[in-house]
Amino acid sequence: MPSDNADASVDEAGSVEPGVWRYARATRATLVIDGEDYFARIQQAMLKARQRILLIGWDFDTRIHLAQGRRWWHKGTKREYPRRLGSFIPWLARHNPDLEIRILKWSIGVFKFFSRGTMMLDLVRWAPHRRIDFKFDTAHPVGCSHHQKIVVIDECFAVCGGIDMTAGRWDTREHLEHDPNRQSPGGGYCGPWHDVAMMMEGEVATALADLGHSRWEHAGGKKLHRCSIPQDSAWPDGLSADFENVEIGIARSRAEHGGLARIDEVEELFCRQIAEARHFIYAENQYFASRAIGEAIVKRLAEPDPPEVVIVHPANADGWVEELAMDSARATLLEAIRAADVKHRFHIYSPYSGDTPIYVHAKLMVVDDKILRVGSANFNNRSMGLDSECDVFIDARRPGNDHASADIRRLRLSLLAEHCGAELDEVERLIDQAGSMAGMIAALGDKPGCRLRPFHPPQNGELAALLAENEVLDPEHPDQMFGLSDRRRGLLRPGSLLARARDRLARKRHKK
């Protein structure tokens, strides 16, 4: 690793191959599932930081507690430190005079401050600390967002996934229907929430530091210099590694802005990985509204022996604008896909805890137990090219990664067991018996506790259908923002695979 005087700026526009920015080795990597484990582990890692903590996120709320319950201080055997994030950050700076902390948050969050009174006080208290720098990222076209969720500590430890350090993300893997620990900072109750992130150690952290430095500087932050070689790792104590000595790929997206070129690696890689699936695709995602992903799936479903496709996502989007934009597009997209799914290989579910839907915020995909992909990118048009995104993936087909396949399978089965309220060996046995994930889910049935329910979207009204088909609120390019696209564009553009599938279904209905 370069010395601490080395310039961290990097020409990071190029890709090593279509859909991939870089490949880098990781000495250790693990999939952290759900907020309870994530917040506990990230606090442990930050306690080990010696030079720099770089936090990049869509949202950031200083009022949250990083550990279960609302007790102000954590009492450990060696030291005591605050659990509340707004107090923990300056505590770290006071107890380590060499540590700098840089935090980058999407610019729209400034409007939320008026409802986060104590957060404003936190930022005022942080101001005298010259080694704490909090910035809003406005470096994107109007209507786009900064959506990456990256943590880099001392450039030897990194996190990439879907979890922001903000309210509503904390939950256990049990996703209890009523859990008193799921409290928002303002005192409100939060519902069940599912999310994932990848924690990594090694060269991949340096690569993500390059990406983070570039984003920080483009957003107006001062130039960051390399960290020196750390003597100790920030890897959290007691965190077992799912993978050791693996190569990890990185994919990005962003809109053209301020001299930076458009990057659409996220879309390229999704389409490529869907095309390469031989047996199945298992995905968890917050949305299902991407034209490119829909067309890639329809293309596979038209084959003589298509792969099984299982998608786990929330019953409804979070917020009325998101519901209008994403739920209506989802209904339109699903109608076209199901029209093409003549062999019944496509399945989409929503998880429930009792009668309460579990909100899925995860962005994860597994292909044939050979590819594990985790990041910030959603299955919507925005993530393909408008918003800044970052995904990481492990491909067991690449040289030196063949040992990763068994652990990818174990993680997929573990996630299915979590969603179905079943034991790992029961899920594995039922999949072997039924020959498919959908068969296993059907065999378990609609029992009490956590389970997956088949998703059936309500039919769109005329306005919702118009907004969905024209991608008005979820465009593919910034110049389409808030305007009807021309007929050569849109979710069901004429002549596309999705449009042809929808038209075939309409003709069948007309004949009946």
User: What are the backbone dihedrals phi and psi of residue 422, each rounded to the nearest 5 degrees, phi first?
Assistant: -125, 170
Beta strands 73-75 and 80-82, pairing class: antiparallel
Q: How many CB atoms lie within 10 A of CB 504?
A: 14
User: Which three-class secondary structure state does DSSP give residue 337?
Assistant: helix
Residue 172 lies in a domain: yes
* Burial of 449 (C-beta count, 10 Å sphere; 0-12/13-18/19+): middle
Domain match, 211 and 73 both:
yes
Same domain, 334 and 206: no
CA distance readout (Å), 456 to 64, 298, 313: 35, 18, 12
Q: Pick from 191, 161, 189, 192: which is nearest to 174 by CA?
A: 192
Judge if 285 and 245 occupy the same domain.
no
List the CATH number of the domain containing 472: 3.30.870
Which three-class secondary structure state does DSSP give residue 257? strand
Question: In the structure encoding, which two tokens stand for residue 443, read together?
Answer: 């065999």
- For residue 8, tell me if it sits in a domain: no
Considering 199, 218, 252, which residue would you say is the last residue of a domain?
252
| Residue 287, in any domain of the structure | yes
Q: Is residue 268 part of a domain?
A: no
Report if residue 7 sits inside a domain: no
> Whose CA is closest to 153, among 52, 71, 31?
52
Contact in structure between 262 and 240 (CB atoms under 8 Å): no
Per-residue pLDDT of the chain (512 residues; tens, 9 = 90+): 333 434 444 445 688 999 999 999 999 999 999 999 999 999 999 999 999 999 999 999 999 999 865 455 666 545 688 999 999 999 999 999 999 999 999 877 555 655 676 888 888 889 888 899 999 888 888 878 889 999 999 999 999 999 999 999 999 999 999 999 998 887 788 999 999 999 999 999 999 999 999 999 988 989 999 998 777 889 999 999 999 999 999 999 998 888 888 899 999 999 999 999 999 999 999 999 899 999 999 999 999 999 999 999 999 877 655 666 677 888 888 988 999 999 999 999 999 999 999 999 999 999 999 999 999 999 998 899 889 999 999 999 999 999 999 999 999 999 999 999 999 999 999 999 999 999 999 999 888 889 999 999 877 655 555 555 555 556 666 766 655 444 446 676 766 777 776 667 566 655 65
Distance between CA atoms of residues 298 and 302, nearest Å: 6
Q: Convert 197-219 into a string of H (helix), E (strand) and C (coil).
A: EEEEECHHHHHHHHHHHHHHHHC
Q: Distance (Å, rounded) from C-alpha 224 to C-alpha 492?
A: 45
CA dist 164 and 172 (Å) reads 16
* 288 and 166 in a common domain: no
Residue 263 resides in a domain: no
SS3 content of the chain, % helix, strand, coil (to 5): 35, 25, 40
Task: Round to whole Å and give the CA distance between 243 and 246.
Answer: 7
Does residue 314 sit in the same domain as residue 433? yes
Q: Is 98 exposed, middle or buried (0-12, 13-18, 19+ CB in 10 A)?
A: exposed
Q: Are residues 458 and 335 in the same domain?
A: yes
Q: Which two tokens stand for residue 480?
A: 């389409």
Do 348 and 238 have their domain in common? Answer: no
**Alpha-carbon span 336 to 497, nearest angstrom:** 9
- Residue 163 in any domain: the answer is yes
Backbone angles phi, psi at 303, to 5 degrees: -75, 160
Residues 62, 202 within the same domain: yes
Name which of 130, 405, 108, 146 is nearest 254 in CA terms: 146
Q: Is residue 198 located within the same domain as residue 332?
A: no
Q: Residue 383 domain-assigned?
A: yes
Contacts of 121 (CB under 8 A, 6+ apart): none
Q: Do residues 487 and 466 touch, judged by C-beta distance below 8 A?
A: no
The answer to whether 40 touches 265, Cβ cutoff 8 Å, is no
Note down the domain range covering 479: 275-511
Same domain, 83 and 192: yes
Looking at the fold, whether 196 and 314 belong to one and the same domain comes out as no
Separation CA 416–CA 411 (nearest Å): 9
User: What is the CB neighbour count within 10 angstroms for residue 23?
Assistant: 17
- Torsion of Cα atoms, 418 then 269 then 376 then 255, to 10°: -160
Whichever domain contains 200, its CATH number is 3.30.870.10
Paired tokens of 262: 């458009």
**How many domains does the chain divide into?**
2
Sign of the CA dihedral with 173 first, then 378, 16, and 406 last:
positive
Question: Where in 154-287 does DSSP place strands (E)?
Answer: 157-161, 193-194, 196-201, 243-254, 263-264, 280-284
**Residue 350 shares a structural domain with residue 248:** no
